[in-house]
Amino acid sequence: MTIAFEHDAIRAQFPTLAQQLEDQPLCYLDTAATSQKPQSVIDAMNHYYQLDNANVHRAAHQLSARATLNYEKVREQVQGFINSARLDEVIFTHGTTESINMVAYGISQQVNANDIILVDSAAHHANIVPWQQLAKKTGAIIKPIPLNDELSIDHAAFDELLKLSPKLVAFSHVTNALGTVNDVEILVQKAKSAGAITLVDGAQAIAHFDIDVQAIDCDFYVFSGHKMYGPTGVGILYGRFDQLDQLAPMLTGGEMIKTVSFAGTEFGDLPNKLEAGTPAISAVIGLGAAISFINALPKEQVRQHEQSLLTYLQQQLIQLGDIRLYGANKHNCGVVAFNVSSEHHQDVGILLDQQGIAVRCGHHCAMPLMQQLAIKGCCRASIGIYNNKQDIDQFITALRNVKELLL
């Protein structure tokens, strides 16, 4: 059941935000790094540990039966949440990074020397390094996809690269450092027309957009629970069944087998084939609670709220003066990247923290992007469902104090 958009009531569901730092209300603007968790997620995980703590799929007793039932219900929730065609196209992982590594490892037998792999120039390191490791192993060649003036993927340059008939194309749905939204459906369509396998990193998009993997038509879509108001330690690898079933398992043993003897081993069917060992059961349960939380929100009003906050944040930073914005445009989602004049980003972050403001400062696991911007790093303010105009005003006041101190 969808609840009315009463923002104060929604914000009140996040207990972390009730505290003070440095005698100031906590102003949390680091959701792109990890989101805060509503009480319902915390309660769901506590319930599992207090009443249902048992391993899944492996016992006849009632605790295991309850744990298994609730665990597999979350797989069904994820299937509906991203509109996958089949339940066995949903693989539980420990997060986006593991999901991408599983694909990079799993397709290694399909990749040959001199095969081309195209990677988004603004990608997170987790969507760069696994492909580099695959290239070292197979002799494949990595080529970055150039960015346009708005720091989104340059479609004309992309079209030229596709003439090389790449084996795989990997890019972000929303870039983590800048919040740039890429036209994933168009990019996937172009890549598939060139015969490429496609992977979309949805870690920064999953909490902000309705994701329909069938409409996107990608081969793989990956994301993490902790970016969508769920716990750390759980993520999703979605794969089109025919592509997913071809992946060689990165981890073996435990639940992923069908038969084992010293003469050889036969792997199980999906999803078991790619889910070796005891999973992060409580985190999966928490992910289910996070999906329930998101599904209960009036999504269109939430999007309008988040976009108006982002626009207000951009405007206030511009009006403040002596602020360098990176990639800020009306199509961004959830993130504003900036520096205060030529001051070091870490100094700015520390001074903001002393006023109760939580932002991230650094290269944001996007060092190639920082190199393109000719900077060593920057500050990043990112918003979530719980943020309000008062947060932005508190942040701007604190940043004004930083300016007065440093400039």
DSSP calls for 260-282: EETTEEEE--TTGGG--SS--HH
Q: Are residues 361 and 289 in the same domain?
A: no
Core vs surface per residue 241-264: b (16+ CB within 10 A) or e: eebbeebebbeeeebbbeeeeeee
Q: Are residues 323 and 283 in the same domain?
A: no
Q: What does the pLDDT look like over 90-137, one tens digit per residue?
A: 999 999 999 999 999 999 999 999 999 999 999 999 999 999 999 999
Residue 382 has φ and ψ, to the nearest 5°, of -135, 145
325 within a domain of the structure (yes/no): yes
Q: What does the pLDDT look like over 148-199, one tens digit per residue?
A: 988 999 999 999 999 999 999 999 999 999 999 999 999 999 999 999 999 9
Q: What does the pLDDT look like over 192-209, one tens digit per residue?
A: 999 999 999 999 999 999
**Number of folded domains that form the chain:** 2
Q: Are residues 210 and 154 in the same domain?
A: yes
Could you tell me which residues come within 8 angstroms of residue 97 by beta carbon, excluding any fewer than 6 positions away?
Answer: 126, 235
pLDDT of residue 330: 79
Could you tell me which residues come within 8 angstroms of residue 108 by beta carbon, excluding any fewer than 6 positions away?
Answer: 134, 137, 138, 248
- CATH number of the structural domain spanning residue 243: 3.40.640.10
Residues with a known catalytic role: 365
- CATH number of the structural domain spanning residue 327: 3.90.1150.10
Helix axes 389-406, 299-320, angle to 10 degrees: 20
218 within a domain of the structure (yes/no): yes
Pairing of strands 257-261, 264-267: antiparallel
pLDDT of residue 59: 77
Output DSSP code: residue 254: G
Which residues span the domain enclosing 114? 43-295
The alpha carbon torsion through 386, 390, 392, 393 (nearest 10 deg) reads -170
407 within a domain of the structure (yes/no): no
Query: Mean pLDDT of all residues in the chain?
Result: 96
The tokens for 385 are: 């469902």
Q: Are residues 200 and 94 in the same domain?
A: yes
